[in-house]
Amino acid sequence: MMRTGWKVLALVGLSAVTTSCKGLNTATLTQALDKVNTFSVEAQRCEKMHADPGVQEEYALGGALAINFVRRGDGLLLSGPDDALHRYVNVVGKNLAAQSARPTLEWTFGVLRDTSQFNAMSAPGGYVFVTRKLLQGLENEGELAGVLAHEIAHVTLKHAIRQYGEAKVKTCTLVTLGESALPPSAVRLLSAGRDGDGSLDLDKDSGLLGYLSEKTIELIDKGNAKEQELEADRVAVELMLSAGYTPDDYLALLAKTTDGGGAFANHPGKDERRDNILAHVQALKQPDGAFRGLATEGLRSPPLSPAFAAVRGGSSARGVAKDGK
């Protein structure tokens, strides 16, 4: 690490200043080198913070990120007819999450008031949000399922957890080198994690939680790696099939997006994503055309709930089922 290199040069330079006229002050140099070695060993311990956190730490981080998403998304749609929409999105989302590799997370789905960004996002611990703008572009429940399944996949694949790990390691290294302005309580907590198994009890220090959340958000805003997005698409397809939705609806939604914009600003191009999804669906099929462990019969593309009228401005909006249908 470049910062560590500068620290070494500074310490060696300090030892040169203390050299006596008769020769090198070996005691001072030895002390300086010992200090450098100590810094190096402690900094290496920070690497253990790349490991997956425990569920309590994940929930603390996810909750903080969720608050950030809600604030930036102009708040949640929850009152009046919007409450029915919120419940509907949770039913669809939790059904998909139950098919995932992490069904026991306390999954929470929410609709943000944001009418300017065609966007969806997720946070560790099972938080998934979609914007009102995105919902306004959906034609049926299958498209909604595709969006939610993609974000569920990011959570189960722990993509944000990897970004959080990067933030933890960098912050720990800065603290070790004495280059962090964090308060003493946060420094003690980080040092304990460095000297322990790498985990942090974020509930003990709201300041550290806020700091690491901000650093993680900065990484999230830069976007996931290309392969992570393609991987999330593949898992999303499997979740949709498990829940009985046809992946064609997800492909239909992707076809309506614009490369490099909105929720897909940092994603691979939609043509590449389409090819990736189609190849994965084909790979999931048995020689006789059936899906492994799944039945192709009954795959459906149901209409949206009447609750969707809350974001469409009326029950006559496209794709919205009438009451009782």
Domain range enclosing 180: 53-223
For residues 289-304, average pLDDT: 76
pLDDT at 205: 95
Average pLDDT score over residue span 96-111: 97
- Average pLDDT rounded to a whole number, residues 29-47: 61
Residue appearing with tokens 């040092």: 191
The full 3-state SS of 136-165, as one line of letters, equals CCCCCHHHHHHHHHHHHHHHHCCHHHHHHH
- Residue written as token pair 């020689």: 287
- Does residue 107 lie in a domain region? yes
Token pair of 36, please?
């450098």
- Do 149 and 250 touch, CB atoms closer than 8 A? yes
267: which residues sit within 8 A by CB, 6+ positions away?
Answer: 223, 226, 229, 273
State pTM to two decimals: 0.83
pLDDT for 140 beyond 80: yes
120-123 and 127-131 as β-strands: parallel, antiparallel, unpaired? antiparallel
What is the overall mean pLDDT for the chain? 84
Tell whether 23 is covered by a domain. no
> How far, CA to CA in Å, does 33 sit from each of 6, 87, 149, 172?
14, 62, 53, 21
pLDDT at 131: 96
- Whether the pLDDT of residue 10 is over 60: the answer is no
In a domain, 244, yes or no: no
Residue 307 has pLDDT above 60, yes or no: yes
Task: Indicate whether 305 pLDDT > 70.
Answer: yes
pLDDT at 20 over 50: no
Confidence of residue 9 (pLDDT cuts 50, 70, 90): very low
Which amino acid type is present at position 114? D
Beta-strand pair 108-112/120-123: unpaired
- The model's pLDDT over 55-83, given as tens digits with 9 standing for 90+, comes to 999 999 999 999 999 999 999 998 887 89
Residue 163 inside a domain? The answer is yes
241 in a structural domain:
no
Q: Is residue 131 part of a domain?
A: yes
CB atoms within 10 A of CB 197: 10
DSSP codes of every residue in 156-206: HTTHHHHHHHHHHHHHHHHHHTT-----HHHHHHHHHHHHTTS---GGG-H
Lowest mean pLDDT among 98-107, 153-162, 284-293: 284-293
Q: How many Å apart are CA 313 and CA 317, to the nearest integer?
A: 7
Residue 308 lies in a domain: no
Number of domains in the chain: 1
Helix, strand, coil percentages in the chain from 3-state DSSP, rounded to 5: 60, 5, 35
- Name, of 4-8, 9-13, 107-111, the range with top average pLDDT: 107-111
List Cα–Cα distances, 271 to 43, 257, 275, in angstroms: 43, 11, 6
Within a domain: 277: no
For the chain, the farthest-separated pair of C-alpha atoms sits apart, in whole angstroms, at 97
- Quickly count: other Cβ atoms within 10 Å of residue 96's Cβ: 27
Whether pLDDT at 126 is above 80: yes
Q: Is residue 308 over pLDDT 70? A: yes
Confidence check: pLDDT of 313 > 80: no
